[in-house]
Amino acid sequence: MKLNWKLWLPQKHRHLLVKFAVVILLMGFAFRLVFDRSTGISSRIETPFPEDLSRIETPFPNEAADSKPLVSEEAAETGEHISVREKCNLFSGDWVPNPSGPLYTNESCPLIESHQNCMKNGRPDKEYLYWRWNPRDCELPRLDPKRFLEMMRDKTWALIGDSISRNHVQSLLCMLSKVELAVQVYHDEEYKSRRWRFPSYNFTISVIWSPFLVKAAIFEDYNGVSTSEVELHLDKLDKKWTDLYQNLDYMIISTGKWFLKSSIYYENSKVLGCHYCPKRNLTELGFDFAYRKALRFVMNFIATSGHKGLIFFRTSTPDHFENGEWFSGGNCKRTSPVKEGEIQLKEINRVLHDIELEEFGEAEKKASKNGVNLKLLDFTPLLLLRPDGHPGPYREYYPFSHDKNAKVQNDCLHWCLPGPIDTWNDVIMEMMLNG
């Protein structure tokens, strides 16, 4: 039997029922619109680390007040799904397999100097090329060369320091060469300080040779053999970088290993003492004394400079000489990364690193008060885990081609290109975008 609901309700009540139903339908439709719009927004921000970061419009440095990833109001209230970048330590992590390999090769980039061109020099193993740095609390996107160059339009960069800075600048130039090949526009007499320009972007990158950052007279040949102690003025900055300082938009400043050399220390043009100068009647002050004093002087200059750009201070890099040092047959034969705790920082490297962290910590406080943007690149623990990334004997072209047992000098300090040092550029871009 079919029930006729019209017979059960008076005419007036039937009209009220119809109106009520219409209201319910309209409310449902409005709710659906609001819900769809809200879920559409959250689907774009729920995952803060898309694989292709270049598709997200992130403000360039100094162009927006807040470049942090957005989060939903609900997430902000509950504390859930907050961007892990806010708590991520980019320098704490592990090296994990990377089947895709490096962004460039020694054949695609003509800017690699011979001592770091391990593949061209005949290094037989290739596994060291297939690892990437993986921070524990977040994903680290690979540097986007096109985006980096767009960000750096009409800007100037300088990497200031020793041969590791030169090693690094080659890495950066090679990664950017995927978009445009840089043109060299300057070099000093010894090709230690150089400058390149990317014509399409009016962007220049320099490497400025200043291994101590303070004034120094160095007496050694191309192979690092000294004829006399370094004369180091701990109270005078090296003008090779300070004369250019205020005209640079971005800087990476570093030092370290050169302070281990036999040196005589000066202050107010008077001798204070020395480090490892047994033939001279001078007080042994130790390299740590000079390093702390010089670094404090440099950091104070930066922190009080009023510079309006972005300045990175990079910690010194560890070497991996085993079975001796560079001058006594030391080598680095490992072919894969190690895990944290499997290898220890050498005591000398630990002293350098401790001083760097302490002096940077004090300088950062002062810089912050003075409006100077000073950031730390603590790559020491990251590269400690890559004893496989050095040229070793392949700093020279096919060193064993004539004698497989030949005794050759190993380089366990600098880094193969491509190689682990490329990761530095990924970290730097991430810090620029979200630091």
Nearest Cα neighbor of 252 from 314, 200, 175, 193 is 314
Contact 396, 120 (CB under 8 A): no
How many other β-carbons are positioned within 10 Å of the β-carbon of residue 71? 18
* Helices 287-303, 347-369: crossing angle, 10 deg rounding: 20
Instruction: Identify the three-state secondary structure at position 263.
Output: strand
Q: Point out the catalytic residue in the list 168, 233, 390, 414.
A: 414
Catalytic residue list contains 72: no
Kindly name the residue from 163, 193, 206, 210 that is annotated as catalytic: 163
Adjacent-strand bridge partners of 37 = none
How far apart CA 430 and CA 89 sit, in angstroms, is 11
In degrees rounded to 5, what are phi and psi of residue 195? Answer: -140, 140
Q: Under a CB-based contact definition with an 8 Å cutoff, are residues 145 and 155 in contact?
A: no
**Residue 310 backbone phi and psi in degrees, to 5:** -120, 125
Query: In the prediction, which pLDDT does 327 show?
Result: 83
d(CA 258, CA 263): 10
Radius of gyration of the chain (CA): 29
Q: Are 186 and 228 in contact (CB under 8 A)?
A: no
CATH superfamily of 84-434: SGNH hydrolase (3.40.50.1110)
Asked if 108 is an active-site residue, the reply is: no
Give, in order, the Cα–Cα distances in Å from 112 to each of 121, 226, 381, 403: 12, 27, 25, 26
List the Cα angle 8/14/19 in 5-degree steps. Answer: 150
DSSP line for 229-242: -EEEEEEEE-HHHH
Active-site residue 414, yes or no?
yes
Direct distance between the N- and C-terminal alpha carbons of the chain, in angstroms, rounded to an integer: 73
Token pair belonging to 421: 């040092």
User: Can you tell me the distance from the alpha carbon of 381 to that of 359, in angstroms, rounded to the nearest whole number?
Assistant: 18
* Helix residue ranges, H only, 258-346: 287-303
Alpha helices, H only, 370-415: 380-384
Contact of 208 with 244, CB cutoff 8 Å: yes
Compute the distance between CA of residue 228 and CA of residue 261 in angstroms, rounded to an integer: 10
Which entry of 319, 378, 411, 426 is annotated as an active-site residue?
411
- The single residue listed with the structure tokens 């319910």 is 24
Per-residue pLDDT of the chain (435 residues; tens, 9 = 90+): 444 444 334 444 444 444 444 444 444 444 443 334 333 322 222 222 222 322 222 233 333 333 333 233 333 333 333 344 456 899 999 999 999 999 999 999 999 999 999 999 999 999 999 999 999 989 999 999 999 999 999 999 999 999 999 999 999 999 999 999 999 999 999 999 999 999 999 999 999 999 999 999 999 876 667 789 999 999 999 999 999 999 999 999 999 999 999 999 999 999 999 999 999 999 999 999 999 999 999 999 999 999 999 999 999 999 999 999 888 889 999 999 999 999 999 999 999 999 999 999 999 999 999 999 999 999 999 999 999 999 999 999 999 999 999 999 999 999 999 999 999 999 999 999 986
